[in-house]
C-alpha cells in the first residue's frame, strides 16, 4: 500500500487534493526552512481536547518540515481551577493576577508542572520530541518585579500598585533554547522566571513569548488568541499593520481593551529583532499552518 500508512486509501479525488495542497505549500516550506518560529499557546484552544491534539500535531509538523518551533504557553484557567480547589482567592489589577508567596507556589506548580508537561506531551504524541522547561531552568528568563501605577481620578495623584510576585523579563539567555533546537528538540516553555535574588516570578505568557522571540531574532512570533486578529471600526479583520499604524490605532481608539497589550508585545518583539509578529485565532483549524503555508495567511501581521 502506498500513500497511506494505514487504513482505507483515499479516493483519487481526495489524493489529488492532498497533492495539490502540498504543491501549493512548497514555496512556503522553502521560505521557512530553518526558520525559528515562536508560538504563544493559550486561550480556549488549550481547553478543548480535539483542538489541543491538533495543535500538538501542527507543531510537530513544523519541526518535521524543517522549521524550529519554540512554544510558550499560558495556563490561566488551570491556575484558577487549582486555586479554587485550594480555596485561595484571586485578585486582579488591570488584568494581572496579584500573586503572593503562597499563590506563586501554586502558579509554578501548575504552569511549570502539569500544564507544561501536558503541552509537551501533545507534541511528542504527534511524533516530535518536545521538552518542557520553564524560565527558571538554566537561567533562561531573569525577571524583575513588575510595577504598575494608577492615577486617582479625584486627587490626580499616581499611586504604585503592588502586584506581589508578578514579574517581567529583564533578560533572556537563549543558550538553552539553542541547545534544545540544535539537538532536534522542541522547547515548550512555561512563563515563570527568577529574579537576581532567586525569587520566583509569575510572568504574563504573551510578554514571555515576545521577549523570547526578540532574543532569538525569530522569523515569526505567532500569538494564538481567542479572536481573529486586530479588527477595524466595522469589526473587519485588518490583515497587516506597520508599527506606525499600530500607534495610530491605539491613539484613535480603534485598538482598545485587551488587544492593546497584545499589539504592544508584538511591536516590542519586532523592535527587538523578530521579523514579524502575527495575532491570530487559535481556535481556527490548523491556524499556524494556514498562517505560514498559505498565500492569504491568517490573522493580523505586524512588522516594520
> What domains can you pick out in the chain, each with its CATH number?
31-303 (3.40.1160.10)
Name 187's Cβ contacts closer than 8 Å, sequence gap at least 6. Answer: 70, 71, 130, 131, 133, 176, 177, 180, 181
User: Which pTM value belongs to this model?
Assistant: 0.90
Q: Given CA atoms 209, 236, 239, 119 in this order, what sign does their dihedral have?
A: positive
Say whether 143 sits in a helix, a strand or coil: strand
Whole-number mean pLDDT of the chain? 90
Q: Given this model, what pLDDT does residue 13 score?
A: 79
pLDDT in tens, 213-247: 999 999 999 999 999 999 999 999 999 999 999 99
pLDDT in tens, 146-190: 987 776 666 667 777 788 999 999 999 999 999 999 999 999 999
Integer Rg of the chain from CA: 20
Does residue 1 have a pLDDT over 50? Answer: no
pLDDT in tens, 242-281: 999 999 999 999 999 989 999 999 999 999 999 999 999 9
Amino acid at each position: 500500500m502506498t500513500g497511506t500508512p494505514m487504513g482505507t486509501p483515499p479516493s483519487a479525488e481526495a489524493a489529488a487534493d492532498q497533492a495539490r495542497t502540498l504543491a501549493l505549500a512548497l514555496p512556503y516550506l522553502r521560505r521557512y526552512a530553518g526558520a525559528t518560529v515562536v508560538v504563544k499557546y493559550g486561550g480556549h484552544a488549550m481547553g478543548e481536547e480535539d483542538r489541543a491534539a491538533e495543535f500538538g500535531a501542527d507543531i510537530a509538523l513544523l519541526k518535521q518540515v524543517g522549521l524550529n518551533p519554540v512554544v510558550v504557553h499560558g495556563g490561566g484557567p488551570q491556575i484558577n481551577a487549582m486555586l479554587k480547589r485550594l480555596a485561595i482567592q484571586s485578585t486582579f489589577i488591570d488584568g494581572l493576577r496579584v500573586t503572593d508567596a503562597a499563590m506563586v507556589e501554586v502558579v509554578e506548580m501548575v504552569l511549570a508542572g502539569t500544564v507544561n508537561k501536558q503541552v509537551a506531551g501533545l507534541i511528542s504524541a504527534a511524533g516530535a520530541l518536545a521538552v518542557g522547561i520553564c524560565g527558571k531552568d538554566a537561567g533562561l528568563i531573569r525577571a524583575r518585579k513588575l510595577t504598575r501605577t494608577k492615577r486617582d481620578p479625584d486627587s490626580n495623584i499616581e499611586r504604585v500598585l503592588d502586584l506581589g510576585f508578578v514579574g517581567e523579563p529583564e533578560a533572556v539567555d537563549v543558550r538553552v533554547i539553542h541547545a534544545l533546537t540544535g539537538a532536534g528538540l522542541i522547547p515548550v516553555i512555561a512563563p515563570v522566571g527568577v529574579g537576581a535574588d532567586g525569587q520566583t516570578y509569575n510572568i504574563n505568557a504573551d510578554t514571555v513569548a515576545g521577549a523570547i522571540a526578540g532574543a532569538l531574532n525569530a522569523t515569526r512570533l505567532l500569538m494564538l488568541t481567542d479572536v481573529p486578529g486586530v479588527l477595524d471600526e466595522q469589526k473587519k479583520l485588518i490583515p497587516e499593520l506597520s508599527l506606525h499604524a499600530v500607534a495610530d490605532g491605539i491613539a484613535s481608539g480603534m485598538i482598545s481593551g485587551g488587544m492593546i497589550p497584545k499589539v504592544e508585545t508584538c511591536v516590542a518583539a519586532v523592535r527587538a529583532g523578530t521579523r514579524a509578529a502575527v495575532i491570530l485565532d487559535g481556535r481556527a483549524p490548523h491556524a499556524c499552518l494556514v498562517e505560514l503555508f498559505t498565500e492569504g495567511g491568517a490573522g493580523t501581521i505586524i512588522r516594520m
